[in-house]
Amino acid sequence: MTTNTDNVRIFDTTLRDGEQSPGCSMSPQQKLVMARALAELGVDIIETGFPASSQSDREAMALIAREIRSPTLAVLSRCLPGDIEASLRTLEAAARPRLHLFLSTSPLHRDHKLRMTREQVLESVDRHVRLGRASVDDVEFSPEDATRTEEDFLAEVVKIAIAAGATTINLPDTVGFTTPEEIRGMFSRLIATVPGARDVVFSTHCHNDLGLAVANSLAAIEGGARQVEGSINGIGERAGNCAIEELVMALKVRNAFYRLDTRVDTRRIVPTSQLLQRLVGMPVQRNKAIVGANAFAHESGIHQHGMLRHSGTYEIMRPQDVGWPDTQMVLGRHSGRAAVEARLRALGYLLEEDELKLVFEQFKALCEKQRVVNDSDLQTLMQDASVSQGYRLASMTISDVGGRANALVELSDPEGKRVSETAQGNGPVDALFGALSSATGVQMTLDSYQVHSVGIGTDARGEASLSVRAEGVEYEGTGTAADIIEASALAWLDVANRLLRQRQASPARSETAAA
C-alpha cells in the first residue's frame, strides 16, 4: 500500500458524522436507503455509525452489511475495549470491514477531556490499535483534534499507530481551525519524516467552522493525503464537514492541476444530494455549489447572452455531469431579449421582430411586479400579444361509475371552435388525460406526475407538474388552479400546445411525426 496513487479515496461519513448534525438523525431503514445511494455513487468507504453509542447504529450496520457488499464498511470506536468489542461484532457480517479508532491528542483535549498525559495517550494508541488489528485487517486511526496537537507529539502518535498495525492514518481538523497552508505543511512533513508513513494511506477529515473544509481537504491532498472524509451536502456537527460533491468536482474540473481523480459517478451527485435532503428534511441553500438550485441558473442578461453563444463562457462544468437535467435560464429583471426569445422558442413560439419587441416590453413591465417570470407568465404574455395559445380548457366533469373513472372535457381549439371528448381510466387523472388526448389528437407517454399545494389558507392553490415523452422528445408541463384536477389538465395542455406549435413551426417534423 502506498500514498502514491492516481485516485483519492472517498470516505463518506454522512451516516455517522453527518447524522450528528442537529435534526439530521436517521432510522436504520433510512440509513440503508442512503447507503444504497452512496454505493451507487461510487464512494470507497461508508462509515455507518458509532456502534457503542446506540442500538440504532448497531441495527443500521446489520442491515447495511447484509446488502452493501462492494464499498468498505467502517464503524467508529473509541480506544476502549468495550467500544472495540461492540464494533467488531457489527463488522462480522461486512464483506469489507474497517475499524475506525480515535483518541484525542491535543493539549486542550488531553488536559480537560481525557485527563491523560502524553505517555498515557501513546500507550492507549498502541494497545487499542493492536487489539483491533488482531481481529480485522483494515484499521484506521484518528488522533482527534490533530491540527491543534503539537507536531512533535503528533508524529509520535502516528509512528505508534503505524507500528501497531494501522493501515490508514486520518488527521482530523476536528473544529475547523486550520488553514490550507498549515494543513498542507503538516501532511507533507509527517509523511516525509514518520517511519512507515509511506506504507499507509493518509486521510484528512476537515470541519467547516471557518468555511474552509473543502479548501483544507484539497490542501491536504497537495500535502500527500490520498483519502478524504466528508459528507453529502456537507452535513455534520456544527457547521458541517467537507462537502463530498464539492471536493469531487474540484478534482475533476481542475484535474490538469491536481492530476488526481475519484471513483465517484458524478452523474449521481444531484440525485444523492436530493435523496439526503428528503430523508433528513434539511434542504441546501439555493446558492450551494454543485447541488444548489442556483448552481447552474443564470438571470443576468450578459451571462445569458454569453451562455446562448457558448456554455463555457459562464459554466466550468456541464449540469448533466453532476445530475442536473440542464442549465436554467431564469427570467427576471436582469434578463435580456436574447434569453426571452430563446425561452419562447423552447415553448414553441417563433415570433417576428415586431411581435418579439412587444412581448419583451411587456416582459420588462412584468419584471417590475415580480422577481421571476415563469413559462405560464410568458404564455399569458403571448395571449396578450394576440399570439395563438392553442387548446384552452372550457370545462370538465369527472365521475366514478362502477369503479372506473369517467372524464368529459370541453376545449376551445386554436381556431376558437368547441371540441369535447370523453374517456375512461383507472382514476380521475388517467381518465382526464385520456379525454384530453382524444380531444387534441396528441399522444404522450407519462413519465412522472406530481401535485402539491401553493400558498396557505384561502389563498392556497393546487399546482401540477408532469414529465412526458412525445415524438421522441422529453417535455415538462405545469399548471396551477384552485383544484388539483384542473391544474393537472392545464399542465397536460401546456405540453400539448407546445408540441402543436412546434409542429406548425416545422412542417417537415410534423410530416415525419404523422408518418
The C-alpha atoms of residue 194 and residue 227 are separated, in whole angstroms, by: 18
Would the pLDDT of 515 be above 50? Answer: no
205 assigned to a ligand binding site? yes
Per cent of the chain over pLDDT 70 is: 93
Grid coordinates representing 155 are: 508524529
Q: What is the pLDDT of residues 471-504, one digit of tens each?
A: 888 888 878 778 889 989 988 998 888 788 777 7
The interaxial angle of helices 507-514 and 484-505, nearest 10 deg, is 110
What pLDDT, on a 0 to 100 scale, did the predictor assign at position 455? 57
Work out the pLDDT band at 1, boundaries 50, 70, 90: very low
- pLDDT computed for residue 343 by the predictor: 81
Mean pLDDT of 443-462: 76
Q: Which position has the higher pLDDT, 352 or 82?
A: 82
Instruction: Give the pLDDT confidence score for residue 510 in this predicted structure.
Output: 42
Task: Give the Å distances, CA to CA, from 185 to 145, 147, 256.
Answer: 16, 11, 22
Contacts (Cβ under 8 Å, ≥6 apart) of 91: 61, 65, 73, 75, 97, 98, 99, 136
**Residue 135, pLDDT above cutoff 80:** yes
Please write the tens of the pLDDT for every residue from 216-235. Answer: 999 999 999 999 999 999 99
| Cα 31 to Cα 143: distance, rounded to the nearest angstrom | 27
Predicted confidence band of residue 512 (pLDDT cuts 50, 70, 90): very low
- pLDDT value, residue 436: 95
Nearest to 187 by CA among 201, 166, 167, 208: 201
Q: What is the mean pLDDT of residues 119-147?
A: 98
Angstrom distance (rounded) from CA 126 to CA 488: 66
State how far the Cα of 291 lies from the Cα of 122, in Å rounded to an integer.
42
What is residue 139's DSSP assignment?
E
CA distances in angstroms from 486 to 73, 405, 431, 433, 481, listed in the order given: 49, 15, 13, 11, 6
241 is in an annotated binding site: yes
Identify the pLDDT of residue 456. 57
Full set of structural domains in the chain with CATH: 9-280 (3.20.20.70), 297-384 (no CATH), 392-514 (3.30.160.270)
Average pLDDT score over residue span 385-396: 72
Q: Is the pLDDT of residue 200 over 80?
A: yes
Residue 329 confidence class, pLDDT cut points 50, 70, 90: confident
Report the pLDDT value the prediction gives residue 508, as an integer from 0 to 100: 44
Question: Is residue 299 scored above 60 in pLDDT?
Answer: yes
Q: What rounded mean pLDDT belongs to the chain?
A: 90
pTM for the full predicted model: 0.71
> How confident is the model over 415-428, as a mean pLDDT?
90
Predicted pLDDT of residue 386: 46
Question: Does the pLDDT at position 513 exceed 60?
Answer: no
Alpha-carbon span 483 to 463, nearest angstrom: 9
Cα angle: 97, vertex 101, 106; to 5 degrees: 155
For residue 3, pLDDT over 50 is answered with no
Model pLDDT, residue 369? 84
189-193, 288-292, 360-364: range with lowest mean pLDDT: 360-364
DSSP string covering 81-117: HHHHHHHHHHHTT-SSEEEEEEEE-SHHHIIIII---
Buried (b) or exposed (e) across 422-444, using 16+ Cβ within 10 A?
A: ebebeebbbbbbbbbbbbbebeb
Q: How far is CA 409 from the centre of its chain?
A: 40
| 463 vs 420 pLDDT, higher one | 420
What pLDDT shows up at residue 505? 62
Using CA of residue 259, residue 314, residue 478, residue 349, what is the dihedral sign? Answer: negative
Q: What integer pLDDT is reported at residue 348 of this predicted model?
A: 67
Per cent of the chain over pLDDT 90 is 65
